[in-house]
Amino acid sequence: MERLERYALENNIPIMQKDGINFLCDYIKNNNVKNILEIGTAIGYSAICMAKINKDIHITSIERDNNMYKKALENLKKYQVEEQVLVINDDALNFQINKKYDLIFIDAAKAQYINFFNKFKDNLTYNGVIVSDNLDFHGTLLLDEDKLTKGLKGIVRKLKKYIEFLKENEEFETHFYKIGDGISISRRRKK
Ligand SMILES: C[S@@+](CC[C@H](N)C(=O)[O-])C[C@H]1O[C@@H](n2cnc3c(N)ncnc32)[C@H](O)[C@@H]1O
């Protein structure tokens, strides 16, 4: 995976941080997760890491950028997980999906996290979880807003809103982890 990590770094492609992906893969192993929906494939790095855990794991991953999509397909073949990972080249917010997943991993446009969550929450199996990455957004959530560019300020505000949305959510309970770039795991409350 080091070659992929280097490629991402050299080409400025945001992939999961090492301790973040290790944490996610440990969760998948420990909880016997089999079916995963990923929002945001990029070059396929996290999908490959998750698929490599074992052959029974199947992933549907949605990527809207056509160049990323093509690169992901190449990489899935290279790492021999193309039969386990189905990549869909579409905007996740336009794509309709009926299948249920044990884990839904949100790692795409930060401004849309609430929309992704609401759109896909009904695609969870009974004990399924929604995992969200980048909740610290490289430490920017802790900075004074005056120090941020206009673009960053918008993303930071949206992420803060998402965190509030998770904290106040009556349907889901969320745990937050200071791992990688900030990860949360949300599970439907039992009635
Ligand atoms: C942070 S990268 C994903 C990294 C990947 N999960 C990994 O760790 O290897 C986010 C990706 O989400 C894609 N994306 C952003 N918004 C999207 C949307 N609405 N639907 C599908 N893909 C989206 C971007 O094009 C980008 O490639």
Q: Is the CB of 5 under 6 A from ligand 1?
A: no
Asked whether the predicted pLDDT for residue 146 surpasses 80, the reply is no
Distance from Cα 19 to the centre of ligand 1, integer Å: 19
More confident residue, 154 or 80: 80
Mean pLDDT of the residues in the chain:
94
Q: Which ligand 1 atom is the nearest neighbour of the CA of 42?
A: 27
First CA to last CA distance, the chain:
42
The answer to whether the CB of 62 falls within 8 A of the CB of 92 is: yes
- Report pLDDT for 152: 77
User: Could you tell me how many helices (H) and strands (E) the chain has, helices first?
Assistant: 6, 7
Alpha carbon distances (Å) from 64 to 15, 42, 115, 129, 180: 15, 9, 15, 23, 24
Nearest residue (by CA) to ligand 1, atom 27, is 42
Widest distance between CA atoms in the chain? 48
Considering the entire predicted model, what is its pTM? 0.94
Gyration radius from the chain CA atoms: 16
Report the candidate in 84, 9, 14, 74 with the shortest Cα–Cα distance to residue 49.
Answer: 84
Q: Letter for the amino acid at 3?
A: R
C-alpha atoms less than 13 angstroms from C-alpha of 20 in its C-beta half-sphere: 25
Give the CATH H-level superfamily of domain 2-134. Answer: Vaccinia Virus protein VP39 (3.40.50.150)
Count other Cβ atoms within 10 Å, centred on residue 70.
Answer: 14
| Tens-place pLDDT, residues 103-144 | 999 999 999 999 999 999 999 999 999 999 989 877 677 667
Q: Would the CB of 45 count as within 6 Å of ligand 1?
A: yes
Our answer on whether the CB atom of 156 is closer than 6 Å to any ligand 1 atom is no
Residue 168's pLDDT is: 97
Please give the pLDDT value at position 49: 98
Domain map of the chain by residue range? 2-134
Q: In one letter, which amino acid is 92?
A: A
**pLDDT for the residue numbered 86:** 98
Q: Specify the pLDDT at position 155.
A: 87
Q: At what angle do helices 113-120 and 150-167 cross, to 10 degrees?
A: 40
Q: Which of 63, 69, 89, 115 to mutate to test the pocket of ligand 1 (most atoms within 8 A of CB)?
A: 63
Q: Indicate if ligand 1 lies below 6 Å from the C-beta of 31.
A: no
The residue whose CB lies within 8 Å of the most ligand 1 atoms, and thus the one to mutate among 7, 9, 23, 41, is 41
Could you read off the pLDDT of 23-39 as tens digits, one per residue? 999 999 999 999 999 99
37 lines ligand 1 (CB under 6 A): no
**Region 39-44 average pLDDT:** 98
Position 78 scores a pLDDT of 97
Q: What percent of the chain has pLDDT over 70?
A: 98
CA of 27 to the centre of ligand 1 (A): 21
What is the reported pLDDT for 179?
Answer: 92
The amino acid occupying position 1 is M
Distance 43 CA to ligand 1 centre (A): 9
Mean pLDDT of 49-73: 98
Q: In the predicted model, what is the mean pLDDT of residues 78-91?
A: 98
